[in-house]
Amino acid sequence: MNHAIILISCPDQRGITAAVTGFIYEHNGNIVHADQHIDNQSNKFFMRIEWELDGFKIAQDEIKKTFSAIAERFRMDWNLYFTQQKKNVAVFVSKPLHCLQDILLRFEQGQFACNICLIVSNHEDARPMAERAGIPFYYFPISSENKAEQESKQLQLLRENAVDLIVLARYHQILSRSFVDAYPQRIINIHHSFLPAFQGRDPYDQAFRQGVKIIGATSHFVVEALDAGPIIEQDTVRVSHRDTTDDFKSKGQDLEKAVLSKTLRWALDNKILSYECKTVVFD
């Protein structure tokens, strides 16, 4: 069954929900999910609404145009999605492969409604895993000299594949501003710490030296500043003096996988809205 989903951000004001739900009802749509949130501090309104297209009286390719009148009236930032239009996803990865492996497994099990159309790496390590999964693998070794050039080739590749969403599944290269700007709110990163603690390199070693009693993992949208984009999801696990750095890594990797797969599912289901440096997740 095909559903339409609209994601909305706009200044809060009277009548938004009535207008949106009225629009759907008037054209015989059946709402299956509706979530809204008002941030009183910024006076912003957020909404995710999903309805069945079966019986809906506006043709799928006319919905955008028809809804525009409402969107303009309320000065909405908005996007329209259809559940039958699967997103094209590219996974970027460096040497640690546990997150990629977890994504591929869940993908095989049908947990992710998307096309994983390419795997990109600055190392060769992931190639066998990609080949086993039957997904094209692209190797882009990165040095300070060739970085700009390689990124522009990567962007070319992403465009050719009409990629909608980029997942950095432990990709240890900082993306340039122009790369990030090409995919705003469409690049997801997993960082192996409880951000904002332990940004940058080797967060498990940092955490171990600090003697923390809990470690974490954080998924976020990528912005230009390192490990600083809007946080989407976090989770934590208890450690003790008995745990070595290897134990930190092993416990942490399980967290990373869980947080990243949850985030990817939300992204594919169009459940994440970001504003300022924050996110609203309609879980």
By CB under 8 A, residue 277 contacts a second copy: yes
> Smaller CB distance to a second copy: residue 92 or 208?
208
What dihedral angle (degrees, nearest 10) is formed by the CA atoms of 34, 40, 45, 46? -50
Considering only residues 2, 28, 66, 146, which one is a binding residue for a second copy as defined by CB under 8 A? 28
Residues 124, 181, 205, 276: which binds a second copy (CB under 8 A)? 276
- Give 210-217 contacts, CB < 8 A, sequence gap 24+: 212/239, 213/238, 213/239, 213/240, 214/238, 214/239, 215/239, 215/248, 215/251, 215/252, 215/255, 216/255, 217/190, 217/191, 217/192, 217/193, 217/252, 217/255, 217/256, 217/258, 217/259, 217/260
- Name the minimum Å distance from CB 266 to a second copy: 12
Position among 60, 83, 101, 150 found at the interface with a second copy (CB under 8 A): 101
Q: How far is the CB of 114 from a second copy (least distance, A)?
A: 16
Write down the least CB distance from residue 211 to a second copy, Å. 3
> How far is 46 from 279, CA to CA, in rounded Å?
10
Please tell me what DSSP assigns to residue 229.
S
Closer by beta carbon to a second copy, 159 or else 278: 278
In whole angstroms, what is the distance from residue 65 CA to residue 63 CA? 6
> Which listed residue (91, 100, 117, 231) binds a second copy by CB under 8 A?
231
Please, which residues bridge with residue 273 across strands?
A: 280
Interaction between residue 149 and a second copy (CB under 8 A): no
Q: Which of 231, 234, 233, 235 is nearest to 275 (CA)?
A: 231
Question: What distance lies between CA 56 and its chain's CA centroid?
Answer: 29
Q: Does residue 60 touch a second copy according to CB under 8 A?
A: no
Which range of residues in 37-45, 147-155, 174-182, 183-191 is near a second copy by CB under 8 A?
37-45
Q: Within a 10 A sphere around the Cβ of 151, how many other Cβ atoms?
A: 18
> Would you call 102 a catalytic residue per the annotation?
no
Tokens 């790369």 correspond to 179
DSSP-derived secondary structure letter, 175: P
Q: How many residues bind a second copy (CB under 8 A)?
A: 62
In the complex with a second copy, the residue whose CB is nearer, 65 or 238, is 238
Q: Which of 2, 30, 68, 178 binds a second copy (CB under 8 A)?
A: 30
Q: Give me the helices (H) in the chain, please.
A: 16-26, 63-73, 98-108, 127-133, 147-160, 177-182, 203-210, 245-268
Structure tokens at 148: 């700009």
Task: Count how many residues are written for the chain.
Answer: 283
Q: Which stretch binds a second copy (CB under 8 A): 84-92, 150-158, 179-187, 270-278?
A: 270-278
Residues in 173-202 that interact with a second copy by CB under 8 A: 194-198
| 18 touches a second copy by CB under 8 A | yes
Among 10, 133, 174, 258, interactor with a second copy by CB under 8 A: 258
User: Which residue among the candidates 12, 77, 125, 227 is catalytic per the annotation?
Assistant: 227
Q: Which residues are known to be catalytic?
A: 227
Residues at the contact surface with a second copy, assessed by CB under 8 A: 14-15, 17-19, 21-22, 24-26, 28-41, 98, 101, 105, 109, 111, 194-198, 209-214, 216, 230-236, 240-242, 244, 250, 254, 258, 276-281, 283
